[in-house]
């Protein structure tokens, strides 16, 4: 087993494991890189668990993960699988601040799920996402790197800026 604590926190570590894990709590990635190649290695994620990115990278590597809440304070959510083998992150809610999303995010348990960005800072989203609960931009900037970056649903802008990450116009 890798972790048996209330919250598994990784800092400055690369974890790629072939061992099964019985950990059943929340995950927090503070720095470094974490990737598991099958569900038994990640332990048991349930709709009560959360994944918090405070720095570093979490790679879903072609898997579909379902959890209660996803928070990205700083860092990267990615999917390192080959094209045609990509997975999904399905969370009941998405709270984002700074960082990069290079993995498809979708409606989670009890969907539809919404994304909310409430702090200054920059968020780059480079995938076409399928969540349907809308996007709330309160502060900071969201840079869209693909059409459909903000899923579907209502886009609510009460502050901040929504921008393309280059010279290409985007469809939201």
User: For residue 2, what pLDDT is reported?
Assistant: 39
User: For residue 26, what pLDDT is reported?
Assistant: 74
| Percentage of the chain modeled with pLDDT above 70 | 76
Average pLDDT, the chain: 80
CA distances from 78 to 62, 82, 103, 151, 172 (A): 10, 12, 5, 17, 21
Q: Residue written as tokens 């809308």?
A: 134
Asked if the peptide bond before residue 112 counts as cis, ω within 30 degrees of 0, the response is yes
Q: Which pLDDT tens digit goes with each residue over 138-150?
A: 999 999 998 899 9
pLDDT at 41 over 70: no
Give the whole-angstrom CA distance, residue 128 versus residue 105.
Answer: 8
Q: Which pLDDT tens digit goes with each residue over 86-128?
A: 989 999 999 999 999 999 999 998 889 999 999 999 999 999 9
Average pLDDT over residues 127-144: 95
More confident residue, 31 or 18: 31
**3-class SS of residue 92:** strand
Tokens encoding 170? 């985007």
Contact predicate 108/92, CB 8 Å: yes
Least trusted range by pLDDT, from 23-27, 101-105, 158-162: 23-27
Contact predicate 162/140, CB 8 Å: no
Among 80, 36, 39, 72, which residue's Cα sits nearest to residue 56? 72
């Amino acid at each position: 087993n890798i972790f048996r604590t209330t919250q598994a926190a990784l800092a400055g570590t690369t974890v790629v494991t072939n061992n099964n894990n019985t950990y059943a709590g929340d995950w927090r990635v503070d720095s470094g890189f974490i990737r598991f190649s099958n569900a038994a290695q990640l332990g048991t994620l349930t709709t009560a668990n959360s994944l918090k990115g405070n720095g570093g990278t979490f790679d879903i590597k072609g898997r579909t993960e379902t959890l209660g809440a996803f928070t990205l304070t700083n860092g990267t959510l990615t999917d390192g699988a080959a094209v045609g083998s990509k997975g999904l992150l399905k969370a009941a809610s998405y709270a984002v601040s700074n960082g990069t999303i290079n993995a498809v995010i979708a409606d989670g348990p009890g969907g539809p799920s919404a994304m909310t960005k409430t702090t200054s800072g920059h968020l780059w989203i480079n995938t076409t996402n399928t969540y349907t609960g809308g996007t709330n931009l309160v502060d900071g900037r969201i840079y869209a790197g693909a059409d459909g970056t903000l899923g579907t649903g209502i886009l609510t802008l009460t502050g901040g800026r929504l921008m393309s990450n280059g010279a290409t116009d985007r469809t939201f």
